[in-house]
Amino acid sequence: MILDVDNLTIRFPFGRELRPVVRGVSFQVAPGEILGVVGESGCGKSITNLAVLGLLPPGAQVTADRFALCGQDLLAVGRRDWPTVRGSKVAMIFQNPMSALNPSLTIGTQLIESVRKADPALGRRQREARAIELLEQVGIGAAALRLKSYPHELSGGMAQRAMIAMALASRPALLIADEPTTALDVTIQAQILDLLDRLRRDNGMSVILVSHDIGVVQQYADRIQVMYSGEIVETGPIGQVTQTPSHPYTRALLQSLPGRVGARPKTPLVTIRGMVPPIELAIEGCRFASRCDRAEAQCQDRPPVARRTADSWVRCHL
Ligand code: SF4
Ligand code: MG
């Protein structure tokens, strides 16, 4: 397994106490696989990934029965060693590429710096050649010229491609893409997602694709993980979960998709009533109960335990 997570809990300081914000999540990412992670904002998707990257804010506490990236125990990585982990095993791209690029430096300067960090032994010419190769890999034409461009001279889609090139410089085993296309036009979105799909096939890289849009994940992911208020409520192969969802929250997310499969034209979109409870709030029963149209008395009283089958599980009393 590239990423192996068992019973991961993340606590943040609130005043003088530590409260769980991600509660006992377990999942795995296989080589070359795209794991799609969905859920509304405030469900703990990004926090979980920041833990994998060693980028949680100071004061956060991480516990787990197992938390390993390419066999390395992430619980044992000290503050000083995280840059090495990020520079070799895992890389990330974010929602807004423009804010992640330095506006005052050319793409070439920034990309060549990523190459230098990843391969310190390369000479100046070799670094430049590698940078050009990376731009070509992500589909940026006239790469040698593009090295001289500043971020403001690139479109949003180009800037995201440049970010992906920088992430690839270190040949990561795992790329975490957190809402990578949310800030882009629909046609550009598809191009970037197609690119990620091609890169994982060509390079054997695994991808965690985080999106609030289950439609995006449905199209690109091999497996899906549905998060709700700091927990994984359902996980499994993409076809199984999207065709026969077991958890009421997964069902609601699918019903809120425009143009969903099987929907009659003009069927009103279902929106999920209510809001995600604050992630740090202690709740006795099921965390989805206040919004669930199938909630029963037991749902308020005790938290549902995950029911597992071979490669899927669901956390619901029904
Ligand atoms: Fe709904 Fe109850 Fe299942 Fe929670 S446990 S999702 S409230 S049916
Ligand atoms: Mg997020």
Q: pLDDT tens for residues 7-59?
A: 999 999 999 999 999 999 999 999 999 999 999 888 999 999 999 999 999 99
Q: How confident is the model at residue 96 (pLDDT cuts 50, 70, 90)?
A: confident
What pLDDT, on the 0 to 100 scale, is given for residue 259? 63
Q: Name the CATH code of domain 3-89+172-315 (choices 3.40.50.300, 3.30.559.10, 3.20.20.70, 3.40.50.800).
A: 3.40.50.300
User: Taking CB atoms and a 6 Å cutoff, what residues make up the pocket around ligand 1?
Assistant: 248, 286, 288-289, 292, 294-295, 299, 304, 316-318
The span from the CA of 272 to the CA of 149, in Å, is 44
What pLDDT, on the 0 to 100 scale, is given for residue 132? 97
What pLDDT, on the 0 to 100 scale, is given for residue 160? 94
Residue 129 alpha carbon to ligand 2 centre in Å? 35
Query: Predicted ipTM?
Result: 0.96
Q: Is 117 exposed, middle or buried (0-12, 13-18, 19+ CB in 10 A)?
A: middle
The span from the CA of 214 to the CA of 235, in Å, is 13
What pLDDT, on the 0 to 100 scale, is given for residue 220? 95
In this model, does residue 268 exceed pLDDT 80? no
Query: Residue 174 forms beta bridges with which residues?
Result: 90, 206
The span from the CA of 306 to the CA of 6, in Å, is 13
Q: Indicate the pTM of the whole model.
A: 0.94
Kindly report the backbone phi and psi dihedral angles of residue 251, in degrees, each rounded to the nearest multiple of 5, phi listed first. -60, -45
Ligand nearest to the CA of 274: 1
Mean pLDDT across 215-227: 95
Kindly report the backbone phi and psi dihedral angles of residue 73, in degrees, each rounded to the nearest multiple of 5, phi listed first. -75, 110
Ligand nearest to the CA of 48: 2
Ranking 90-99, 101-110, 226-235, 239-248 by mean pLDDT, the lowest is 90-99
> Using one digit for the tens of pLDDT, what is the confidence trace for 130-186?
999 999 999 999 999 999 999 999 999 999 999 999 999 999 999 999 999 888 888
The span from the CA of 233 to the CA of 39, in Å, is 10
- CA 211, 42, 176: angle at the middle one, nearest 5? 40
What pLDDT, on the 0 to 100 scale, is given for residue 184? 87
Mean pLDDT across 184-203: 92
3, 174 Cβ separation under 8 angstroms: yes
The residue type of 89 is K
Looking up tokens 């690119």, which residue turns up? 195
Query: Probe ligand 1: pick from 226, 246, 292, max atoms within 8 Å of CB?
Result: 292
